[in-house]
Chains A and B, each alone.
Chain A
Amino acid sequence: MRGRALGIGTRAGAALLTVGVLAWLPQYYGATDTALFAKAIYIAIAALGLNLLTGYNGQVSIGHGAFFGFGAYATAILMNDHGWDFLATLPVVAVASFVVGAAVGFPALRVKGLYLALITLGLAALFPDLVTKYVHGTGGTTLVQPPLPTSPGWAQGFAPNDDQWRYYLALTIGIVMFILAWNLVRGRFGRALLAVRDHDAAASTIGIDLARIKVGSFAISALYAGIAGSVGVMVTGLANAGRVETFQLSINFLVAVVIGGTATVLGPVVGAWTFVFLERATQDLFPDQALLSPAIFGVALILLLFALPDGIVGGARRTGRFARRKLQARRAPRAPDFPSPIREDRQ
């Protein structure tokens, strides 16, 4: 569908333009806004992974804040206590989150739908307790504040400030993760995810290994959340896992997926940026009424879902299809309206 709507050249051009704009942002905006953009990037990374699980494979998780926290603590502790370089921690976090995700996703073989959502809720509730019990950070608290990567000499030309350098690191990691997700859903694995979501019993009869797909999608989404946690540490400078924060992060990832558009590759990214700016906008609306902002945010969220139940990307596609059909109808007014043998809205 998209292939026909926009040529490969148009899409490559749009991608280059987007990356160009993203690269230009920290040159123009100050440190506060750059931190906000970087936050949008790490939420987008986690949402990309959660979308593989929830959007493509239909398994709802309200516990991915725990994997995020896991990645964050792994990076922070490796950097702080063992003197590792930030980038060196990423492969370790990726492998460890993948393994933990597979272990947690194992019950998903038997437990479905809302029950699974509840198990993951338990994960989000439990993780802060585990951290409180086993992590001994700065001054006996659970906070770990590692030394952050600084802008190296060769990068002074385009990123003289450390926050700019960190933004570019986050952006690079984000682009790599995006391309990985893009390739993943377009291949055999992606189609298997959809088949299992739509009807797992039917999928297994055509030779799809249910266990591998279900546990695999859990593990991969945990990997994404873990990497997002590492990037989060680099951006915010600390690893923390309060009860409220972990739960809120888990919700934020889901919100980003749903307002962006489930089961679209671009959706979580659009959703994450929309989410971050919506949150910021509701904070700015009544600066002296900080308490009110979650209320406005909650209402805005419900209204947005009401207007665009299939998310921003889904809504945009629907509008695009509608407009094209109108255009075609105008060009060939008497064309007979035969149903196409291949359904158009297959996506």
Chain B
Amino acid sequence: MDLNLFFSQLLNGLSSGAIYASLALAIVLIFRTTGILNFAQGEMALFSTYVTWWLADQGLSIGLAIAISVAVSFVGGAVIERVVIRPFEKASPLVIVIATLGLFLALNSLTQVVFGTDAKQLGSAFPDTVWDVWGLRIEAQTIGILVVLGLECVALWVLFQRTRIGLALRAVADNPEASRLLGVRVGTMLMFGWGLSAALGSLAGAMVVPTTQALTASSLQSVLVFAFAAAALGGFDSPLGAVVAGLIVGIARALTIQYIEPLNNIELVVPFAIILVVLLVKPAGLFGSTQVERV
């Protein structure tokens, strides 16, 4: 077996896995704070990525464009929570699922109306340097994506475990009624959670586009499928699970494409087969918490 090839596929898998992990983190954030599975997550990130592209197209440096887009997405996510999701606070989960699907359709077509349907080119935030380590080609792009993911994790950990606002967010996720009684502004926290999630999605979008050919309205849909797979594999309520599972899904996908000939073009089987097996053994996901039910 060609070890070099194996390791370069591993790196490929890691870099796409890090992107799945970013978006999976965004999904988990919303799920933890509101109990909603947001199917519009990918399209929210798509819109943010177009904003990044537009800013870069106006002549801003790519880093600045991403930073502004993250801020805009934060506000946008909070507004979406307040305007679209809050009215369904007391509705059944199925109705909320359909509402996020409505949001999915609306955002996707709005993006095309606002920014046009032609494919866009978006530069990478990282230099295109390639290091040669014992014959293995390591791209700065790959390292950059992994570093960003690492920073995201650290920032989220600090936010959730070491700040008052993080404590309030966790309290709201755990028990909204009791939090309200203790004076936590539940509504504001929910908006904050959605904003944070949209900001993460915006980062994920800015990372993924330079690795694909171009930015189009369907750029993030397959990423969303893999991110969902990662969220399910890790357990919907576990940020750590999302990151680990995102990397697993990415690596499994890259290795399948390289090594398993009969699964050519249907490599999507692999993440879902993994999920199925994991869920059959551990129904709450790898890192998820199980819920005890009483009759």
- B160 interfacial by beta-carbon distance below 8 Å: no
- A299 interfacial by beta-carbon distance below 8 Å: yes
- B53 interfacial by beta-carbon distance below 8 Å: no
Judging by beta carbons under 8 Å apart, are A199 and B98 in contact? no
- A125 interfacial by beta-carbon distance below 8 Å: yes
Judging by beta carbons under 8 Å apart, are A202 and B295 in contact? yes
The stretch of A74-82, A112-120, A331-339 in contact with B is A112-120
Contact of A129 among B88, B92, B231, B265 (CB under 8 A): B265
The stretch of B123-131, B161-169, B170-178, B266-274 in contact with A is B266-274
Complex Cα distance, B272 from A123, in Å, reads: 9
Which of B37, B104, B269: most chain A CB closer than 10 A? B37
Judging by beta carbons under 8 Å apart, are B283 and A255 in contact? no
Judging by beta carbons under 8 Å apart, are B266 and A309 in contact? no
Residue in chain A with minimal CB distance to B288: A115
Residues on B with C-beta less than 8 A from A123 are 272
- A30 interfacial by beta-carbon distance below 8 Å: no
Judging by beta carbons under 8 Å apart, are B279 and A107 in contact? yes
Interface residues of B in 100-134 (CB under 8 A from A): 101-110, 112-113, 117
The stretch of A39-47, A162-170, A218-226, A287-295 in contact with B is A287-295
| Inter-chain residue pair count (beta carbon < 8 A) | 134
Residues on A with C-beta less than 8 A from B104 are 298
Judging by beta carbons under 8 Å apart, are B276 and A119 in contact? yes
Interface residues of B in 255-295 (CB under 8 A from A): 264-266, 268-269, 271-272, 275-276, 279-280, 283, 285, 293, 295
Range of interface residues on chain B?
Answer: 35 or more
Judging by beta carbons under 8 Å apart, are A305 and B109 in contact? no
- B149 interfacial by beta-carbon distance below 8 Å: no
- A258 interfacial by beta-carbon distance below 8 Å: yes
* Cβ distance B208 to chain A, nearest Cβ, rounded Å: 17
Judging by beta carbons under 8 Å apart, are B272 and A119 in contact? yes
Known: A111-B280, A244-B218, A295-B106. A118 touches B113 (CB 8 A): no
Residue in chain A with minimal CB distance to B39: A62
Which residues of B are in contact with A by a Cβ distance under 8 Å? 37, 39, 84, 87-88, 91-95, 97-99, 101-110, 112-113, 117, 218, 221-222, 225, 228-229, 231-232, 236, 264-266, 268-269, 271-272, 275-276, 279-280, 283, 285, 293, 295
A-B contact pairs, 15 of them (CB 8 A): A60-B94, A107-B276, A111-B276, A112-B283, A115-B236, A125-B222, A202-B295, A262-B92, A291-B117, A295-B105, A297-B106, A298-B102, A301-B99, A302-B103, A305-B98
Which residues of A are in contact with B by a Cβ distance under 8 Å? 54, 60, 62, 107, 110-115, 117-119, 121-123, 125-126, 129-130, 132-133, 199, 201-202, 205, 243-244, 247, 251, 254-255, 258-259, 262, 289, 291-295, 297-299, 301-302, 305-306, 309
